[in-house]
Amino acid sequence: MKKYKKKKERKTKKAKNIPIKRRRMSLGAKYAWIVITIMLFFVIASGIVYILSSQSEAKLNEQETKTSVAIDIGNMESAFRAKNGLLGDYITFKTNDYASQYEELNQSFQNIEENVRQHLDKEQRTLLNQVVTINEEINTIVEEEIIPNVQDRNEGDAIASRMKATIISRDAVGLLTQLTESVQAEFEQSKNEMSSSFKQMQLALMLGIVLAVLMAVLLLVVVNRRIRKNIHAVQDVANEVAKGNLSVTDVPVKGKDEIADLAQSINSMKASLHGIIHDVNFSNQSITNQSDELKHAAESLKEGSEQIASTMEELSSGSETQAESASQISELTEKLVGRMNLSVENSEQISSTSEKVMNLSASGREKMADSVTQMSRIHMIVEDSVAKVKDLAKQSGEISQLVEVIKDIADQTNLLALNAAIEAARAGEHGKGFAVVADEVRKLAEQVGNSVSDITSIVSNIQNESNIVSETLQAGYEEVTVGTKQIHSTQETFEGIDEAIAQMSQQIQEITFNLQDVLNESVNMSGSVEEIASISEESAAGIEETAASVEQASHSMDGISKVANDLNQLAGELNRKVEKFRL
């Protein structure tokens, strides 16, 4: 018994000393860490896209400004040409309407010049100043030479002055052409920068999405694989314990999360249950041996009683035979008392052992309850993780809003290209170069639209991957549910054993009380036999008293025999219940 206790203590210590190599991190913390990591990738990608989109918007505004400036410069060039034509009409028809129209064109030219000047750089303003100077020279020629000559009917001088103004205006047109080319060059540079910004934005968004998806899948696969492996290990041991196999190896789970705590509880429960079953086997064997001894003692006492009865019949034949029979009865009675004392002591020992078994059973029941509670916690944590992954899949849909922003920018760019094409068409021959630029902007907008479609497809793939991850977690959740049912089944089996042990303890106490009564009766019978031996001379009167005592002893032996049989049956029933466990 001492060797068994030492062995059980070593097993209990071994079950309690499961190697732990990691800092404690619960299942909820692990999944929260995964979600935070994925969200961080999404936030970084969104921030980069936002910065690049802001830069693209600034470039787009700059392009709009350059487009407006180019159109105004074209209008200035058209105004120069129109003014020259009005001078010819004025000289030819000599009406003041043409002079008024000339003044209106000149005022429009000045207004355009003021609007354009604030959007030009230093070099471009130098060209514009030269154009303004030429315009002032032409206005001076018109005011001081052409108008007075027309009014004086000096047509030849007026035509000569107009030719002079025409030559000067050609220089202005050339300067305006240079200014237009400079603005167009800046427009092309801005267009290239915006195209590069769009490509960077697409690349950043795609890389962020791909990295987030890969990180999510990798982390979830690793964590789920470890959790599922540990849960399967706990489930296998629980199934073996439920089947009665207590020789199964302890759960080899490393870590310090809820599953490790559950493994600790399962191992402790198995060790406690192993000790309980071993004690029950030992107690059952003791009960069986004691019941056999009690049965043999009862049979021996019954034989002695029969012999006493035979002796009583022979008392009439002689006192010598009576004395011999009394001696035999005394010896048998002493043996019976000795065996009864031994039976009482063994019964008390069995009762004490049964109390220890009940205490161990109560401890095992508490540990089983702890295991059930721990499994329920794991069930709740995995269920919460499934909900969080579903929320993550829902949040991934919000990336579509960024795609809509990019699409809006592309639509605005396309609209800008259309407006530019319309203005170029209005400008006529001088707007052809700008029409080419507008067509390039339109193509860029179409490329951005195609990229938006690709990004939309990527977002759809992310949502599909999120659904796959959610299904994987759901499978893990179902495995945890099965493990919870197995733990509950093991608890029910353990409670049945506890009830059987309690019933056995109660019946052992009843047997102890009955044995004590039988012992008292045996002591009384021993006194009666001694009295028979001492008064052998008064055999006639003592025969009736002895016969009565023998009859009472016979009835007591029947009760003892019945109790022994009942005890033997209980021991057999308990043995059948315990045999389902393999130690």
Tens digits of per-residue pLDDT, 178-194?
Answer: 888 887 887 777 777 77
For the chain, percent of residues with pLDDT exceeding 70: 63
Give the containing element (helix H, strand E) for 332.
Answer: helix 319-396
Mean pLDDT score of the chain? 73
Contact assessment for residue 494 and residue 316, using Cβ atoms and an 8 Å cutoff: no
Residue 7 pLDDT > 50, yes or no? Answer: no
Give buried/exposed letters for 255-268 (b at 16+ CB in 10 A, else e): bbbbbbbbbbbbbb
pLDDT digits (tens, 9 = 90+) for 304-349: 666 766 666 666 566 566 656 666 776 777 776 677 677 767 767 7
CATH 1.10.287 fits 261-396+476-578, yes or no: yes
Backbone angles phi, psi at 499, to 5 degrees: -65, -40
Q: Give the residue, 42 or 106, on which the prediction is more confident.
A: 106
Give buried/exposed letters for 501-529 (b at 16+ CB in 10 A, else e): beebbebbbebbebbeebbebbeebbebb
C-alpha dist (Å) from residue 327 to 324, 333, 379, 538: 5, 10, 76, 16
Question: Closest Cα partner for 574 from 268, 350, 298, 362?
Answer: 350
- Residue extents of the structural domains in the chain: 27-236, 261-396+476-578
**pLDDT-based confidence at 85, cuts 50/70/90?**
confident
Q: Which two tokens stand for residue 172?
A: 């202005």
DSSP summary character for residue 430:
G
The neighbouring-strand residues paired with 245 are 582
Question: Closest Cα partner for 390 from 477, 448, 297, 264?
Answer: 477
Q: What is the DSSP string of 290-324?
A: HHHHHHHHHHHHHHHHHHHHHHHHHGGG-HHHHHH
Q: Give helix then strand counts, H and E, for the chain.
A: 11, 0
- Fold held by 27-236: de novo design (two linked rop proteins) (1.20.1440)
Strand locations in 279-414 (E): none
Integer Cα distance of 253 and 228 in angstroms: 11
pLDDT digits (tens, 9 = 90+) for 238-277: 787 777 777 777 777 666 667 777 777 777 877 777 777 7
pLDDT digits (tens, 9 = 90+) for 193-221: 777 777 777 787 788 778 878 887 888 88
C-alpha dist (Å) from residue 80 to 171, 173, 472, 552: 11, 7, 75, 150
Query: Which pLDDT score is estimated for 13?
Result: 42
Query: Of the given ranges (216-225, 416-425, 533-542, 557-566), which has the lowest mean pLDDT?
Result: 533-542
Backbone angles phi, psi at 254, to 5 degrees: -100, 150
Kindly compute the dihedral angle of the four CA atoms of residues 278, 283, 289, 293, in this order, to the nearest 10 degrees. Answer: 170
Query: Which pLDDT score is estimated for 130?
Result: 92
Query: Which pLDDT score is estimated for 9?
Result: 46
Integer Cα distance of 284 and 352 in angstroms: 13
